[in-house]
Every structure is written in structure tokens, then in C-alpha cells.
Amino acid sequence: MIELYALTDHPAPSLPDGASLSTVAHAGLAFVWGPAPTPTELSPELLWRHEELLEKLMEDRDILPVRYGTRLPDEAAAAWALCERHHELALALDRVRGAVELSVRVIGTEREPPPADGMSGTEYLRAREQTSTARASALRTVHEPLSLSARASSERAPRAAGELVRAAYLVDREAVQEFAATVTRLQAAHPRLRLLCTGPWPPYSFSET
């Protein structure tokens, strides 16, 4: 079995040393793959190792990340997948060319802790309305201006308590510092919100075909 890591242009700069990577190419595109590692329990270290490999590739080429854990029987199967979906994969790589992904989450710091003895129906509804107002306001004051500095953006439902915005931005490589400066400026303008910006990431959230 082999594991697919990313789609790149072909030819591309030589692959980083020491990671047992290979490529399989067809008509200007290539999959970067490696031997499938023996299955182990998923851990943060395992995920970071995968991420470091993609970041290494991203240093000197454009990449379209493949969904984590994608395995094929052999190189021929990868070549076939590349052939079969060549057109849509080429378009998807074009969409992220020259760009990286930045993540921004907005946390509300004025959340009232829920009362220890539980909430009445009215209190629950009021708390829910407050959250929804805070979320709409954070989208307007943070997400909208950041979207204007990005080539594309995607916004997902918040997952954690207190989280108001969970967004990803596709940003041109040369515009990353400017984007970070905008985040810093927005943070200063909205001290009651906590903006958490991480990246640059490979464009995981902009890889739909």
C-alpha cells in the first residue's frame, strides 16, 4: 500500500531528503506519495509529522493536500486516479496556486459561566440569543474585513464553547504579512474578542474539486 500526500505540478523541485517520498506524474501533474506507514494509534505527533512533511513541500512548490490517510494499493493505482481526474485536479491546483491558508478563530471573552444549578428555559433562550448576536457581530467586525484581504474564505460552525468564528482564508504568499497585520489591527480594535491566527497552512480548506 502507498499513502498519497499531495498533488503538485510536474516537473517540480526535487523532493526533500529523508522522507522516502516518490512521485507519479501525468501530463503536468504529479502525486507525491510514500510507503503507507504501519497503522498506529492516531496521536498529535503523528498529525504533526504529516503536517511537517507538507510544509516542507510547500516551501518550494504549490501543493494541493490530499485528505489525510488516503491509501492506494500501488503506484499504478495512483497513476490511474491522476489520469482519470486530471482535468478537475488541475483546476483545483490552479485555484490555490501561489497561496497559503491562514486560520482565524474568534473567541468571546465575555461569556458568563452557566449557573451551577442549571438554567431555566427562559435563561437558556436568552443565553442562546446572546451567543447568536455575538457571533453575528464577530462575523461582521472580523470575518468580513479579513475576507476582503483574502483570495477566498470559508467559515465553519464553531465547535467549542465561547468560539464565535472558525474561519479559513486563502491568502497570496506575498500578502501573508499584510494579512497578519490586519489581524493584529482588528485585535487591537476589539479587545473584548480574542483572535487566534495560525499558519501558514497548506490549503487544506480550499481543496474541493
Partner 1 sequence: MTTIAEREVALIDLVDRLLGGGVVIAGDITLSVAEVDLVYVQLRALISSVASAEEKGFLPRLGSAV
Nine-digit cell string for 158: 464553531
**Residue 192 interacts with partner 1 (CB under 8 A): yes or no:** no
Give me Rg for the CA atoms of the chain: 21
Burial environment of residue 43 by CB neighbours within 10 A (0 to 12, 13 to 18, 19 or more): exposed
Question: Nearer Cβ to partner 1, position 116 or 188?
Answer: 188
**Residue 7 interacts with partner 1 (CB under 8 A): yes or no:** yes
Identify which of 83, 104, 188 has the alpha carbon closest to the alpha carbon of residue 146: 104
The number of angstroms, rounded, from the C-alpha of 46 to the middle of its chain's C-alpha atoms is: 17
Residue span 159-178 as binding mask against partner 1, x where in contact by CB under 8 A, dash where not: xxxxx--x-x----x--x--
Residue span 110-139 as binding mask against partner 1, x where in contact by CB under 8 A, dash where not: ------------------------------
Question: What is the strand order of the sheet 152-156 is part of?
Answer: 152-156, 163-172, 99-108, 193-201
Selected from 19, 21, 25, 196, the binder of partner 1 by CB under 8 A is 196
**Residue 59 interacts with partner 1 (CB under 8 A): yes or no:** yes
Stretch that binds partner 1, among 11-19, 47-55, 126-134, 145-153 (CB under 8 A): 47-55
**Residue 16 interacts with partner 1 (CB under 8 A): yes or no:** no
**Residue 142 interacts with partner 1 (CB under 8 A): yes or no:** no
Burial environment of residue 63 by CB neighbours within 10 A (0 to 12, 13 to 18, 19 or more): buried
**How far apart, in whole angstroms, are the C-alpha atoms of residue 171 and residue 133?**
28
Chain positions contacting partner 1, by CB under 8 A: 1, 4, 7, 39, 42, 44, 47-48, 50-51, 55, 58-59, 64-72, 77, 81, 85, 89, 92, 100-101, 103, 105, 107, 109, 156, 159-163, 166, 168, 173, 176, 180, 183-184, 187, 194-202, 204-205, 207-209
